Structure 1
């Protein structure tokens, strides 16, 4: 039980740490221009990915399935992130 709680704390701290990168970068350059919505969307995306991976770790007992499912979750995260960032698919979500 304690390991699971530590993993959850680790997930939240990792999300905060990742979100600090653009926040700090915004202080030094005009190239990074995030608003509150950007932070909320990315925070939700990262936290959701972390919590979904945690759910898979807790519920899926077969190691190979666990690795495969988490890999798919990470691929989905990267595709959504790329779409939101540069619109690789040209969906309405990217502002295309």
Structure 2
């Protein structure tokens, strides 16, 4: 568990609330988690990160389609699920 003072949390939220992260195609949450917390927690707490290139390669191999169920039981930051969603969205366009 990450402990953070309420005042620090509110200051972070205040700084970040001006940004709309839904308009980016990247998994911003996952990238931020890996960059800022990855070196601290990598492997120590059982957390491991799949490189984005591997996620993209595996998504292309699986070729998920609209209407299929996609499951990632070891979701972490949701990188596989987000990439699969983006893949399907692009195929619909």
Which structure has more helix as a fraction of its residues?
Answer: 1
Q: TM-score band, normalised by the shorter chain?
A: under 0.3
Q: Which has the higher contact order (CA 8 A, sep 6+)?
A: 2
Query: What TM-score, normalized to structure 2?
Result: 0.27
